[in-house]
Structure 1
Amino acid sequence: MAKPVTCQFELEHKAYWATRYLNLDSEAIGIKRMLQLNELDKFRYSAYENAKLYKERTKLLHDKKIAIRVFEPGQRVLLYNSRLKFFPEKLKSRWSGSFVVTRALPYGHVEIQE
C-alpha cells in the first residue's frame, strides 16, 4: 500500500519540477500573451499603412501615364467600346464610327452626335 502513495508523490514532484523548469507562471504567461497580441496589432497597423502608401504611389504612377485630351466642339472623334467582351470575329475592332463633338464638359466628358 505504500507504493501507490510514493508513485503519486513522484508524479506530483515531477509535475512541480516541470512547472518550475519551464517557468509556467500563469500570470506571467497571461502578460506575455497580451504583449504578443499588442505586437500583432502594431504589425497589422503597419501593414495597413504600407498597403495604403503602396496604393497611393501606384495611383500616382498610373495617373501620370494617362494622356490629357482636350476636346473642342466640331472635332471628329472615334468611340472606343471597352465593354465589348465577346468577339464574333477574331479581329473585330472595338472602335466605332466617326462622331462630332457637340459640347465639351469639364473632366473630359463630351456630348457627341453621329
Structure 2
Amino acid sequence: MEAYESSKIYKDQTNKWHDAKVVKKDVSVGDLVLLFKSRVKVFPGQLRSCLSGPFKVTHISAYGAFELWSEDGQSFKVNGQRVRRYYNGDEQGTIEVLYLGEPLPEKESE
C-alpha cells in the first residue's frame, strides 16, 4: 500500500508541475494562426520555414484541440501546442512622435 500511495503522490506532484508550465494561448475563434510543421527536413543550401499558414480558427475544444480552416476550403483539427498566433502587421499600436529640438521656422508663401 505504501508503494501505491507513494506513486499517487508522485503523479499528483508531476501533474501540478506540468499544469504550471502549460501556457494558455491568446487565440480565439476567428483569429488567424500559423501551424508549426514538426517534420521539416533541412537541406543544405535551402531555407525553409517551420511554420505554414495562415489558417483561420473555426472551433476550440475544451481540451485544447483547434479546428482550422484553410484557404482551399478544407477543415482539419490539430493540437493547440502546434499553433502560433499570426500577426499580419495591421495590429500595430499608435506611435507618438516627440521632437526634442527647436521647431523649424515655417516658410511664408508669397
TM-score when scaled to structure 1? 0.45
Task: Tell me which protein shows more strand as a share of its residues.
Answer: 2
TM-score when scaled to structure 2? 0.47
Structure of higher RCO (CA pairs closer than 8 Å, 6+ residues apart): 2
Tell me which structure has the larger Cα radius of gyration: 1
